[in-house]
Amino acid sequence: MRVQSPLFIVLIIFSVMNIHAQWDKYPTYPEYVKHMQSWAQTYPELAKLHELGPSGMPNKNHHVYALQISDNVGKQEQEPSILLTATVHGDETLPYVLSLHLIDHLLKNYTSDIRIKKIVDNSDIWILPLCNPDGTYKAGDLTVRNAQRLTLKDNFDINRNFPCFCGNPEHQHFGNYSYACAEVKAIRSLTDSVSFVIAADIHTSEERIYYPWCITARRHPDVKWFKHTGQRYVDLAREHGPPNYFDDLGGPWPTPICTACLSGGLYALHGTFLDYLTYYRHCKTFNFYLSHKKNASSVDLVNYWNYNYQALLDFIEQAQYGLVGTVVNKETKTPLPAKIFIDRHDLDSSHVFANEKTGAFYRPIESGTYAVIVSCEGYHTKTLQNVTVEFGKTTSLAIELEYIPTQIISAKKLPTLLLHNNYSHMELYDLQGRKLNSFAKQAFTQRLYTRSGIYILRLIGKERTKNIRVHIHK
Ligand SMILES: [Zn+2]
Ligand SMILES: [Zn+2]
């Protein structure tokens, strides 16, 4: 271990305090870690530090950290989870300090600012200020000068190293690469376990908001919601920013809010964080590009905070709106990890699931009237017709699903099930809902199934249809 001079330590302590007050300079790596630790220590009810994993370079002793912010932090509550990530590209350092400033702002103003208190009380916010620490501190732990975009160990672009649904089997696990770099492993240890409702992965080099997809020009079913939400961000940033902020209309993208992939897949990007979170994790994800400058100077840090913090707070609040509800077992009231599918709307994995521990679900969606199909294995599916949502408002739903009890039936007795009731035919499904067979009453002498096991039997009559769960044995 290296022995630090007392003067060096005093300097670090002094500059930590200074940064705490102003956020007008880049912290050193040890200062950054100190901030993250001290927030968790100073606000134990509100902030929890998570070490998600080491970075790629073993000798650097860098880690990917997340700070979780909520009231009763760490306790599972019925609140939407929101993810903000920064510095996935190590040289895009402005969002690094903006995220730290945001954490500080949320925690410091919790007791004094009603809006902040409401945000923290009603959400579960996760902020990862530094996703590529080796790249950012390439030149050493004391400076972000000479920061690089790629990871240092593997030279990977983190934003191309996530599972990709483009159809190329070589991409399906690690995007453009053949393995996950340490930084991606660390990030995914969080994103594979927490179900985020909305997310923003924050970058620089442009002033623009991107929404899915990166890999295909296919229209995302929630494109109206993405545009509306993106527009709110841009409007607020413009209101607080300088003239021409977010006025980036040059190049092939005609608006400051657009899909990352132009028609024809001209700029298709494989393995992006945005596509992975949106497609595989059902999280509505944006890229916020907040500045033309990559490595903003110290004076910019405060300026860009002033331009953006209102928009960032407003973005976090968006997770509260849309369809919000719970799904429980009708009898026992226990939470169910049900699938929430908007009929004739959801496509390309845009549906959401209720949380298995709380039964809560959050489904941001544009204004409209929808049919909501709620399904869970072993339960009767329920369709809620004419559910009306207004953008920026909450439509609350409390859903109870009826359990399908399992009847033990001998194969030989199956026909009597039809005979004794007024059903005309039956259909047999496996527990994943795949239809195996269907039979009319008169054709009932044929073999109905191949193996003993548990199935869903759908009895269909003129007046009614009944699903029962059956354990059929030969
Ligand atoms: Zn970037
Ligand atoms: Zn791909």
pLDDT tens-place string over residues 394-450: 999 999 999 887 888 777 777 677 666 677 888 888 887 788 888 776 665 555 556
Q: How far is the CA of 420 from the centre of ligand 1 (A)?
A: 66
User: Does 244 lie in the same domain as 164?
Assistant: yes
Q: How far is the CA of 93 from the centre of ligand 1 (A)?
A: 10
The pLDDT value recorded for residue 264 is 45
The pLDDT value recorded for residue 358 is 94
- Dump pLDDT digits (tens) for 293-329: 877 788 899 999 999 999 999 999 999 999 999 999 9
Q: How far is the CA of 344 from the centre of ligand 1 (A)?
A: 35
Q: Which ligand is nearest to the CA of 86?
A: 1
- Of 390, 221, 374, the C-alpha closest to 322 is 390
User: Does 245 lie in the same domain as 157?
Assistant: yes
Query: In this predicted model, which residue has the larger pLDDT, 188 or 22?
Result: 188
Q: Which ligand is nearest to the CA of 208?
A: 1
Q: What is the CATH number of the domain that holds 265?
A: 3.40.630.10
Q: How confident is the model at residue 260 (pLDDT cuts 50, 70, 90)?
A: confident
Q: Which ligand is nearest to the CA of 205?
A: 1
Q: Which ligand is nearest to the CA of 176?
A: 2
- Mean pLDDT score, 101-109: 97
User: Does any domain span residue 69?
Assistant: yes
Judge whether residue 92 has pLDDT over 60: yes
Contacts of 84 (CB under 8 A, 6+ apart): 99, 102, 125, 126, 127, 128, 199, 200, 202, 312
Of the residues 320, 355, 374, the one at which a domain ends: 320
Q: Which ligand is nearest to the CA of 173?
A: 2
Q: Which ligand is nearest to the CA of 175?
A: 2
User: Does any domain span residue 8?
Assistant: no
Q: Which ligand is nearest to the CA of 290?
A: 1
The pLDDT value recorded for residue 472 is 81
User: Does 296 lie in the same domain as 328?
Assistant: no
User: Does 227 lie in the same domain as 117?
Assistant: yes
User: Does 369 lie in the same domain as 281?
Assistant: no
Q: Which ligand is nearest to the CA of 214?
A: 2
Of the residues 349, 366, 401, the one at which a domain ends: 401
Judge whether residue 14 has pLDDT over 90: no
Asked if 379 and 399 touch (Cβ cutoff 8 Å), the reply is no
User: Does any domain span residue 414?
Assistant: yes
User: Does any domain span residue 456?
Assistant: yes
User: Does any domain span residue 29?
Assistant: yes
User: Does 359 lie in the same domain as 341?
Assistant: yes
The pLDDT value recorded for residue 15 is 47
Q: How far is the CA of 350 from the centre of ligand 1 (A)?
A: 25
Q: What is the CA radius of gyration of the chain?
A: 26
User: Does any domain span residue 207?
Assistant: yes
Judge whether residue 120 has pLDDT over 50: yes
Q: How far is the CA of 88 from the centre of ligand 1 (A)?
A: 7
User: Does 392 lie in the same domain as 410?
Assistant: no
Q: Out of 6-10, 246-250, 390-394, give the one with best mean pLDDT.
A: 390-394
- Mean pLDDT score, 127-141: 98
Q: How far is the CA of 295 from the centre of ligand 1 (A)?
A: 11
Asked if 307 and 380 touch (Cβ cutoff 8 Å), the reply is no
Q: How far is the CA of 270 from the centre of ligand 1 (A)?
A: 14
User: Does 148 lie in the same domain as 283?
Assistant: yes
In this prediction, what percent of the chain has a pLDDT beyond 70?
90
- Mean pLDDT lowest among 188-202, 258-272, 348-362: 258-272
User: DSSP secondary structure string, 354-383?
Assistant: --TTT-EEEE---SEEEEEEEE-TTB--EE
The pLDDT value recorded for residue 452 is 80
In this prediction, what percent of the chain has a pLDDT beyond 90?
71
Judge whether residue 40 has pLDDT over 70: yes
User: Does any domain span residue 5?
Assistant: no
Q: How far is the CA of 168 from the centre of ligand 2 (A)?
A: 6
Q: How far is the CA of 25 from the centre of ligand 1 (A)?
A: 20
- Mean pLDDT lowest among 64-73, 101-110, 139-148, 455-464: 455-464
User: Does 423 lie in the same domain as 309?
Assistant: no
Of the residues 356, 374, 401, the one at which a domain ends: 401
Q: Which ligand is nearest to the CA of 291?
A: 1
User: Does 289 lie in the same domain as 215?
Assistant: yes
Q: Which ligand is nearest to the CA of 174?
A: 2
Judge whether residue 5 has pLDDT over 60: no
237 burial (CB, 10 Å; 0-12 / 13-18 / 19+) is buried
Q: How far is the CA of 180 from the centre of ligand 2 (A)?
A: 14
Domain around 456:
406-473
Collapse the DSSP code of 239 into the 3-class scheme (helix H, G, I; strand E, B; otherwise coil) and give the result: helix
Judge whether residue 184 has pLDDT over 90: yes
Q: How far is the CA of 211 from the centre of ligand 1 (A)?
A: 14
Angle (CA) 399 404 409, round 5°: 175
Q: How far is the CA of 201 from the centre of ligand 1 (A)?
A: 9
Q: Which ligand is nearest to the CA of 135?
A: 1
pTM of the model: 0.86
Q: Which ligand is nearest to the CA of 169?
A: 2
User: Does any domain span residue 16?
Assistant: no
Q: How far is the CA of 347 from the centre of ligand 2 (A)?
A: 19
The pLDDT value recorded for residue 3 is 47
Number of domains in the chain: 3
User: Does 315 lie in the same domain as 333?
Assistant: no
Q: How far is the CA of 167 from the centre of ligand 2 (A)?
A: 7
User: Does 197 lie in the same domain as 150?
Assistant: yes
